[in-house]
Structure 1
Amino acid sequence: MEQELESKEIVFLLADDHSIIRQGMEMIIDDVVPNYKVYHTSSSQQIVEIIESKGVDIAIIDAHFPDGNSLHIIPLIKKAKPNVKVLVFSGLEEDLHVLKFIKAGANGFLSKLSEEEEVRQAIHNIVHKGEHFSEMSRNLLVQLVYNPDLINPLSRLTKRELQIAEMYAEGLGNLEIANNLDVKQNTVSTIKKNIFEKLKIENLVELIDIINTHHKI
């Protein structure tokens, strides 16, 4: 099997809106894969078209693009070409996001904070095994069997915390939220702190992203 893969040309698609990321990934592919071809795109809208027209075997894609979200593109890839292996290469927190990409059909998840050797191993795994998941991701998959709500980090919040998180996502501030709920502003601040701790986030931009991605999944 290894010899077959070494002789076969592996066709990659690198989809990321930052060219330096794509160039760096291609350099590692060059080290790891003996016979390959690489196509590039910075647009999520071109991903499925390139995969269909260029005979892509492995798509390495970012989680977010200025013109779209990969979470909605992966099912389109799998529908068009079920055998294409999809590796999500993302700056998102793995423990918060990996399960939703697996659910969408991804064959692997790799953090952009990974060391070069981890990236090399991921490329090797996706080529030779058809998947790449860290020990953390595998543990989360095991936990998911016992706790299906794990795929949605918002399930960690109480009803009140979720209500306030949604208000923040709508652009309301602490005072407006306190007035709407008829509670003290300090109470809202405390709940906000709890929300951030439970979701492992540091700012409202991250909160809004999680609300938009996971709400009503």
Structure 2
Amino acid sequence: MAAKTIMLVDDHKIIRDGLKLYFEDSEEYDVAAEAENGKQALEILESKDFDLVITDISMPEMDGITFTQNLRQAKPEQKIMALTMMGENQHIKHMLSAGVNGYILKNSNRSEIFKAIETILNGENYYSGEVTKIIMDSMSGKKKPTQRLTLETPLTNREKEVLKLIVKEHSNQEIADALFISVRTVDAHKRNLLEKTGCKNIAGLVVYALEHDIT
């Protein structure tokens, strides 16, 4: 089986070199390209495809948020993972809204990075426990807005249950097991959630859930 190709986008060469060391002995993954910023990465991506793009947020010329937004528009199916030192809630929410499939911090160890990559390439989203805690802590101290968006078709209790488990990073199978339903039914609930909320992807659902206290 051919190795999955990865593109690294980070303005610090020492970080890119360190990450490449993680993959040196791996037969599953191949770092096929590097870029110093979002602009350079988009230029490379115009003519090449990669199974996964790993990007930082703070970069010159084009930051990771703008890069992710542009890449998601150009290649809607592209798998994107944020790997950054920025653990502030605002950065996490901006990247989730931009469309990343995962968000982990640079202090994560090799095993968690590989777990995140594997999860994302298998079609699920991955947010490290530390990132999830940051979001949850932020929401626990957030005042509820006086006005909320009222959906024309409100979410059912079951849809809310599914959404809560999505926020907790449960896979489709784990959601199915927890709620005693089939994986196919979980997929149907996810489609309904996307349609009702107007979100474009699962990351958007996470942001929606946090903003509406569905946790």
TM-score bracket, shorter-length normalisation = 0.5 to 0.7
Q: Among residues 92, 102, 118, which one is paired with 1:124 in the alignment?
A: 118
Kindly name which structure, 1 or 2, has the bigger radius of gyration based on alpha carbons: 1
Distance across 2 between alignment mates of 1:50 and 1:28 = 23
**Letter in structure 1 aligned against 2:36:** S
SS for the counterpart of 1:120 is helix
1:90 paired to 2:84: yes
1:19 paired to 2:13: yes
Preserved contact between residue 60 and residue 87 of structure 1 (Cα < 8 Å): yes
Amino-acid identity (%) = 25
Distance across 2 between alignment mates of 1:32 and 1:95 = 33
**Letter in structure 1 aligned against 2:74:** A
Q: CA deviation at 1:74?
A: 0.7
Aligned length: 144
Q: CA deviation at 1:94?
A: 5.0
CA deviation string 1:196-217 (max 9, x = no partner): xxxxxxxxxxxxxxxxxxxxxx
What CA RMSD, in Å, does the superposition of the two structures yield over aligned residues?
A: 3.0
Q: CA deviation at 1:125?
A: 2.3
Q: Counting helix residues as a fraction of each chain, which structure ranks higher?
A: 1
The 1:143/1:22 distance shift into structure 2, 3 A limit, reads same
SS for the counterpart of 1:82 is coil
Distance across 2 between alignment mates of 1:94 and 1:140 = 7
Q: Among residues 32, 36, 52, which one is paired with 1:58 in the alignment?
A: 52
Q: Give the TM-score normalised by the residue count of structure 1.
A: 0.56
Aligned to 1:112: 106
Identify the range of structure 1 (49-58 vs 75-84) with the bigger mean alpha-carbon deviation: 49-58
Q: Is there any run of 5+ residues in structure 1 with no aligned partner, and where?
A: 1-6, 151-217
The 1:87/1:26 distance shift into structure 2, 3 A limit, reads same
Aligned to 1:206: none
Aligned to 2:206: none
1:78 paired to 2:76: no
Aligned to 2:42: 48
